[in-house]
């Protein structure tokens, strides 16, 4: 069963249909009469339910886009965000009868002899493909990741239709040029995510350049990898739901490892694992973290990484003109917007984010005030939205950092953030003369 043919009317027709229904609901929502607040909430709930059903059925880039949107729940209408969260849940896998022909088509007889057995029931399924356990002829346990048929061909059409869907809903408070830039970045990442040869290269790059102690990467069995097929060593671990109940000392060690790895990726490897769904990570009580799924890895240039350091230091030191200049160089400021127009907002966010991180030697990710206050500040300043533009180079980096924050929050970890940032040139101030002793 090809993904491109799922459901009546084809992929393009189904996404376009959702857009037309959204437009109709928008017209009705603007009619006078009734409780405006209640009607708007109902409008977004209906739109969200329609989108979640349509995108989930289609899988591929369409579903991936819905998952990406759901991770920005803080800036979405609550009723819409609630519906899109459904797309983060486990996907029903395709029957093995649909998967086995793909293996048969790609593997030679000699390669097939290296496989002793494949479990027909998938252990995981997502928007792009699904995963099956297997055993090699030498007895080694592995996992086989198989791409759904038709996914590659559908990416460009999906993104084009989803762009129209976003435009019809008036969901993003940015201009058309910014939406074009944003969607181009999303399209590139989605194309890459369907390319298992690229995923293999991402895995090999991170294994070489982000060798953070405590991070466990699967080992590729390259002789069995083919177009649409990845074969990797099986690396066991517990889900986040289990790890969050481990002793504080273990959770802190996991938090330190995750934080160090995040910064090492960004500032040393210049490649960020940008699919931060908790299902892509497993945890061990020894303090190790297993990382899965390298389809979405954002490569950075050294100038962009250095500019991020400059932004953070300028904000911490209240150098607002410099901060504004760095953001402008990254493409994040709309034309004609001056420092003076944004200084108060810069100051508030710097105090709420960087100031809080530097308040104590250990930052407590269990402190809900941190994210609550940041959300409140952003909502109070929504009128400034059009003064900023999305930075395509950092879209998926911010996605990764957001996902990792929520994992640290779930772990209730206490992490010496200032000490971990310092080796990368981010200087968030004096830690009271204390020197953190970080576990190896």
Q: Are residues 264 and 400 in the same domain?
A: yes
Q: How many domains does the chain have?
A: 2
Residue 199 maps to a domain: no
Strand partners, 272: 298
Residues 163 and 241 in one domain: no
Contact call for residues 127 and 89 (beta carbons, < 8 A): no
**DSSP letter string, 314-367:** HHHTT-HHHHHHHHHHTT-B-TT--HHHHHHHHHHHHIIIIIHHTSSSSEETT-
120 CB-side CA count, 13 A: 6
- Is 405 within 8 Å of 332 (Cβ atoms)? no
Tell me: do 167 and 287 sit in the same domain. no
DSSP states along 123-167: SEE-SSEEEEEEEETTS-EEEEEEEPTTHHHHHHHHHHHHHHHHH
My answer on whether 167 and 254 are in the same domain is: no
Give the Cβ contact number of residue 229 at 10 Å. 19
Dihedral of alpha carbons 345, 346, 349, 351, sign: negative
Rounded to whole angstroms, the Cα distance separating 159 from 12 reads 10
Distance, C-alpha 113 to centroid of its chain: 37
Residues 70, 81: contact at Cβ < 8 Å? yes
Predicted TM-score (pTM) of the model is 0.76
For residue 271, what is the enclosing H or E element? strand 271-273
CA–CA gap between residue 180 and residue 160 (Å, rounded): 10
Q: What's the pLDDT score for residue 80?
A: 62
**Residue 397 Cα distances to 76, 274, 275, 290, angstroms:** 19, 6, 9, 20
**Quick check: is 427 in a domain?**
yes
Question: Same domain for 159 and 281?
Answer: no
Residue 146 lies in a domain: no
- 424 occurs within a structural domain: yes
Distance, CA of 309 to chain centre:
21
CA 369, CA 363: separation in Å to the nearest integer?
12
> 212 lies in a domain?
no
**Domain end position, chosen among 141, 171, 201:** 171
Domain membership of residue 263 (yes or no) is yes
Q: Cα(249)–Cα(168) distance, rounded to whole angstroms?
A: 49
For residue 29, the model assigns a pLDDT of 57
What are the CA-CA distances from residue 203 to residues 194, 266, 297 (Å)? 14, 15, 9
Same domain? For 305 and 163 the reply is no
C-alpha 269/C-alpha 297 separation (Å) is: 11
Q: Are residues 296 and 388 in the same domain?
A: yes
**Sign of the four-CA dihedral 27, 28, 31, 32:** negative
Backbone angles phi, psi at 365, to 5 degrees: -70, -5
Q: Which of 125, 142, 171 is the last residue of a domain?
A: 171
Task: Based on the fold, state whether residues 159 and 277 are members of the same structural domain.
Answer: no
Mark which of 144, 171, 198 sits at the end of a domain. 171
Structure tokens at 18: 């959702």
On whether residue 137 sits in a domain, the answer given is no
State which residues form the domain around 65: 3-88+155-171
Residues 280 and 161 grouped into a single domain? no
Distance in angstroms (rounded) separating the CA atoms of residues 319 and 145: 48
Per-residue pLDDT tens listing for the chain (440 residues)? 444 444 434 655 665 666 556 656 655 555 555 555 566 667 667 766 776 666 666 554 445 555 555 454 454 566 666 665 655 555 678 899 999 999 999 999 999 999 999 999 999 887 788 999 999 999 999 999 999 877 776 666 666 666 666 665 555 555 666 667 666 767 777 777 788 999 999 999 999 999 999 999 999 999 999 999 999 999 999 999 999 999 999 999 999 999 999 999 999 999 999 988 888 999 999 999 999 999 889 999 999 999 999 999 999 999 999 999 999 999 999 999 999 999 999 999 999 999 999 999 999 999 999 999 998 999 899 889 889 998 989 988 998 998 899 999 999 999 999 999 999 999 986 544 333 334 44
289 shares a domain with 164: no
Show the CA angle centred on residue 136, arms to residues 134 and 142, nearest 5°: 45
Tell whether 50 is covered by a domain: yes
Same domain, 165 and 250: no
CA separation for the pair 383, 362 (Å, rounded): 34
81 Cβ neighbours under 8 A, 6+ residues apart: 48, 70, 73
- Would you state the structure tokens that stand for residue 334, as one six-digit string? 């709309």
Type and span of the H or E element at 115 = strand 115-118
Residue pointed to by tokens 């928007």? 127
What pLDDT is stored for residue 440 in this prediction? 41
Cα→Cα distances 183→161, 165, 258, Å: 11, 12, 29
Same domain, 159 and 269: no
CA distance 417 to 376: 23
């Amino acid at each position: 069963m090809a993904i491109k043919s799922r459901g009546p009317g084809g992929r393009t027709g189904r996404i376009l249909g959702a857009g037309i229904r959204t437009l109709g609901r928008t017209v009705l929502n603007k009619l006078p009469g009734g409780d405006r607040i209640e009607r708007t909430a109902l409008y977004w709930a209906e739109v969200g339910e329609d989108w979640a059903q349509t995108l989930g059925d289609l899988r591929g880039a369409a579903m991936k886009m819905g998952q990406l949107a759901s991770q920005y729940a803080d800036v979405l209408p609550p009723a819409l965000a609630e519906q899109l969260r459904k797309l983060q849940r486990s996907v029903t896998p395709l029957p093995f009868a649909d998967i086995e022909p793909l293996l048969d088509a790609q593997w030679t007889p000699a390669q097939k002899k290296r496989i002793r057995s494949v479990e027909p029931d998938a252990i995981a399924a997502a928007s792009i493909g699904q995963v099956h356990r297997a055993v090699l002829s030498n007895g080694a346990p592995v996992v086989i990741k198989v791409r759904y048929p038709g996914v590659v061909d559908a990416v460009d059409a999906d993104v084009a239709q989803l762009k129209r869907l976003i435009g019809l809903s008036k969901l993003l408070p940015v201009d058309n040029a910014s939406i074009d830039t944003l969607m181009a970045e999303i399209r590139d990442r989605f194309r890459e995510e369907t390319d298992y040869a690229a995923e293999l290269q991402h895995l090999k790059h991170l294994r070489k350049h982000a060798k953070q102690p405590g991070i466990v990467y699967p080992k590729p069995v390259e002789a069995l990898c083919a177009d649409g097929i990845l074969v990797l060593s099986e690396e066991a671990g517990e889900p986040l739901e289990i790890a969050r109940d481990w002793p504080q000392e273990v959770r802190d060690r996991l938090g330190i490892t995750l934080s160090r790895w995040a910064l090492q990726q960004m500032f040393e490897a210049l490649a960020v694992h940008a699919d931060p769904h908790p299902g892509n990570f497993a945890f061990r009580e020894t303090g190790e973290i297993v990382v899965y799924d390298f389809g979405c890895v954002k490569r950075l240039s050294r100038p962009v990484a250095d500019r991020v350091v400059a932004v953070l230091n300028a904000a911490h030191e209240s150098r607002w003109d410099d901060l504004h200049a760095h953001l402008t160089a990254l493409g994040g400021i709309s034309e004609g917007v001056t420092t003076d127009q944004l200084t108060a907002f810069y100051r508030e966010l710097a105090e709420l984010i960087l100031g809080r991180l530097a308040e104590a030697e250990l930052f407590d990710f269990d402190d809900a005030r941190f994210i609550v206050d940041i959300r409140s500040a952003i909502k109070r300043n929504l009128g400034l939205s059009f003064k900023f533009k999305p930075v395509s180079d950092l879209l998926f980096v911010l996605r990764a950092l957001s996902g990792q924050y929520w994992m640290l929050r779930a772990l209730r970890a206490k992490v010496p953030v200032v000490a971990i940032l310092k080796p990368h040139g981010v200087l968030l101030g004096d830690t009271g003369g204390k020197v953190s002793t970080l576990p190896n």
